[in-house]
Structure 1
Amino acid sequence: MKICYIIDFFVPHYQGGGERRLYEIAKRLVKRGYKVDVLCMKIENVPNYENIDGINVYHIGPTIKNPPYRSPLDFLKFIISVFKWLITNKYDIVDAQTFIPLIPASLCYILKIQKNVIGTIHDVSHKKDKSQWLYYGNIAYFIERFLYKLPFKKIITVSNVIKEILNKQYGIPSNKIYVVYNGVDLDLIDSVKCTNIDVNSIIFVGRLVPHKHVDDLIKAVSLIVNDIPDVKLKIIGEGIMMNSLKKLVKELNLENNVKFFGKLKEYKDVIKEIKKSELLVLPSTREGFGMVLVEANACYKPVIAYKSGGVVEVVDNNYNGFLVEERNIQELSEKIKYLLKNKDIAKKMGKYGRKKVEKMFVWDKVVEKIEKVYKK
């Protein structure tokens, strides 16, 4: 079977959750005998063709200097380039990842250029809130609604919550939507050794963008400092909110409590920092799944997250972590403080989380489900 994936960017040049998911799935499909091509945007100083773990990665369309930042013209050029590629190359399966790749893939399906075209949708906005988008917030809400109504033979999404929204808000029949969770590589995670724990340390991993609400987490830490003076917050990631978050840390006199790591080059380095921490917090108001929560549980760490999107299927409240009402900074600080002060309970939650990961969120099981969708 010959499979084509379409995505804006690909690892190792961009390390988002969707990119990590696609890489883990694609390389396992290659090992199972599939021919896998990935179409993505060109990046400055990156060759137009790469072979990554047997995956044929073709960088086409416009050249992007600083992913993920692109202009509307860049999007248009990429759409045209993908469409031209799909006209001249036939595949058994075309799987387009949200957002922009959905347009040329759906067009090829409508025109019967490609027969089996799938749209993979990672998340859906649940309210008209401009902060949910990295940029173009004024029009992104409406563009999203256009994209998700495009025709595909099948839809894959990452949680039952997203499936329900696609069914009820967009009218996509339930029997066309398949839920395939994200996963982790337990062998890789277990290979990362960590001999010491940073006492009273919290970690955030993700893009520093508005809907992640790292500012809420920083404010929560400011409420904890008086009770736990040596509390530490480690922030891994970069994005448009970096300067404003650093300014907030200074305003709250938290320079000794908050450390910005920026973007770590190696995935193993991220896992090591998670292992060195006591818990992971994800105060995001838009999450289709929340892969970092699974990664933390795989490291035997409890998690705390806003009750948003697919997160509710990852976090069993009071078992492998806590779910907090969105934007409730007081409750967020109380839950963090509780786990830092009750380390035995935190360890128990971490062990429960690891068992859940082993049962539900492993890449090999994810690939088996993907194969079943493709063969249908």
Structure 2
Amino acid sequence: MNIAFVSNVVYPFVTGGAEKRIYEIGTRLAERGHTVTVYGRHFWDGPAEMEHDGLQLRAVADERDIYADDRRSITEAIEFAVRLYRPLAAHLDEHDLVDASVFPYFPVLAAAAATWRTDVPLVTTWHEVWREYWWEYLGALGPGGMAIERAAAAVPQHPVAVSSVTADRLAGLGPERSAVDVVHNGVDATRINSIEPVSEGFDALFVGRLVEAKHVDRLLRAVAQLDCEPTVGIVGDGPERDRLEALAASLGVADSVTFPGFLEEYDDVLAQLRAADVFVTASTREGFGITLVEAMAAGCTVVATDHPNSAAAEVVDGAGFLVEPDTDSLADGVDRALAGQQPETPPQARARTFDWEQITDEAESVYERVCGRQD
């Protein structure tokens, strides 16, 4: 097959879950003899069209910051979509299918326009479905975000969701649930376990963007309730960082809680996970939760929040402790994990079920069926 991926940002030149998924699946598909092209912004050094790790990279727009005031830039998404349409349409006869990453939504609309009334099917990969969260994210502009999301869900497509939770939420926008394939995100457990742990790791670790939906404040309050005094690392950055550092000081846990900030190198994050005993997240909105799988692969005991808008329960599935979305429950879960209590399923065994080779098998099967090549 000849497969085109659409993503405004391209891994490894920009790091993030959606673009990493394209890289991991795409490189493996290329190794299997498929031709894979990635349409994105020109984040790499070198010509606008070049080969990298078996992938054909095709820049349709210049490099640009995708965030504005700690939020995803709407103008960036619109500009990329406008730049995408013409080159994708011009090269469409080269491809057997197009897989557009959702979010942002505007490039999906451009890809839908390019493939409209052609024999080239459009696959969409949904990482999250926000629906009512748009009100919280954009305030008075929330209805606009909801309208664009609904528009992206309404175009002719073969939708893929990274979790059943995301698939269910997508079905609430219109597509039949039975029409949504679930292909999870993956992990390279072998690589993770080849990383040398940092010499002085944390007892408990959080990794993620410091935004309100992650509820890191709940983690800090839970730590303050513990009789023991674990060392806690909060790896990541975001608009909530100053407030969280002030909260740690006011709770009296500033001496045991460290904010290393955003770690540029992925291996540095893995080294922290390899050294930690417990991974904790109080997030209530996770379309998948790749750090949960990475933490399990690294051997951490996971403590995560069970919430209808989060795929944590689906991902962890007995290989960690799921708690209610409140401080007391989180404190109890962290306390049990730090005390050495073991989950029903070994975390590393659960992580192996998300191996990228298996995930690529599933994605390849979907692509072949969409292209009519599967019996």
CA contact (8 A) 2:11 2:20 kept: yes
- Give the unaligned 5+ runs of structure 1: none
Cα separation, 2, equivalents of 1:136 and 1:45: 37
How far residue 136 of structure 1 moved from its aligned partner, in angstroms, is: 6.2
Cα separation, 2, equivalents of 1:78 and 1:220: 42
Cα separation, 1, equivalents of 2:19 and 2:65: 18
Cα separation, 1, equivalents of 2:344 and 2:53: 32
CA contact (8 A) 2:14 2:43 kept: no
Aligned ranges 1:178-257 → 2 under 5 Å:
178-194=181-197, 198=201, 201-224=203-226, 227-229=227-229, 231-257=230-256
Identical counterparts, % of pairs:
30
Give the superposed CA RMSD: 2.6
- Partner of 1:353 in structure 2? 347
How far residue 354 of structure 1 moved from its aligned partner, in angstroms, is: 1.3
CA contact (8 A) 1:132 1:286 kept: no
Q: TM-score, normalised by structure 2?
A: 0.87
- Partner of 2:77 in structure 1? 75
**Change over 3 Å in CA distance of 1:161–1:222 after alignment to 2:** same
- Partner of 1:108 in structure 2? 114
Aligned ranges 1:319-330 → 2 under 5 Å:
319-326=318-325, 328-330=326-328
2:343 match: secondary structure:
helix
- Does residue 295 of structure 1 match 2:300? no
How far residue 49 of structure 1 moved from its aligned partner, in angstroms, is: 4.5
Cα separation, 2, equivalents of 1:233 and 1:337: 13
**Change over 3 Å in CA distance of 1:88–1:103 after alignment to 2:** same
- Partner of 2:271 in structure 1? 272
How far residue 133 of structure 1 moved from its aligned partner, in angstroms, is: 7.2
2:51 match: secondary structure:
strand
How far residue 6 of structure 1 moved from its aligned partner, in angstroms, is: 0.9
Cα separation, 2, equivalents of 1:240 and 1:67: 12
How far residue 131 of structure 1 moved from its aligned partner, in angstroms, is: 4.2
- Partner of 1:174 in structure 2? 177
**Change over 3 Å in CA distance of 1:281–1:142 after alignment to 2:** farther
Residue of 117, 124, 145 corresponding to 2:122: 117
Structure 1 counterpart of 2:349, one-letter code:
K
**Change over 3 Å in CA distance of 1:14–1:216 after alignment to 2:** farther
Cα separation, 1, equivalents of 2:36 and 2:16: 20
1:156 match: secondary structure:
strand
- Partner of 2:365 in structure 1? 372
How far residue 299 of structure 1 moved from its aligned partner, in angstroms, is: 1.4
How far residue 10 of structure 1 moved from its aligned partner, in angstroms, is: 2.0
How far residue 361 of structure 1 moved from its aligned partner, in angstroms, is: 0.7
CA contact (8 A) 1:301 1:351 kept: no
Cα separation, 2, equivalents of 1:9 and 1:260: 27
Residue of 126, 144, 148 corresponding to 1:143: 148
- Partner of 1:56 in structure 2? 56
How far residue 331 of structure 1 moved from its aligned partner, in angstroms, is: 0.9
- Give the unaligned 5+ runs of structure 2: 370-375
- Does residue 4 of structure 1 match 2:4? yes
- Partner of 2:20 in structure 1? 20
| The 10-residue stretch of structure 1 (79-88 or 52-61) with the greater mean CA deviation from structure 2 | 52-61
**Change over 3 Å in CA distance of 1:97–1:258 after alignment to 2:** same
| The 10-residue stretch of structure 1 (295-304 or 365-374) with the greater mean CA deviation from structure 2 | 295-304
How far residue 129 of structure 1 moved from its aligned partner, in angstroms, is: 6.1
Cα separation, 1, equivalents of 2:136 and 2:22: 26
Structure 2 counterpart of 1:213, one-letter code:
H
2:26 match: secondary structure:
helix
CA contact (8 A) 2:28 2:357 kept: yes
- Does residue 334 of structure 1 match 2:338? no
Q: TM-score, normalised by structure 1?
A: 0.87
Cα separation, 1, equivalents of 2:344 and 2:140: 35
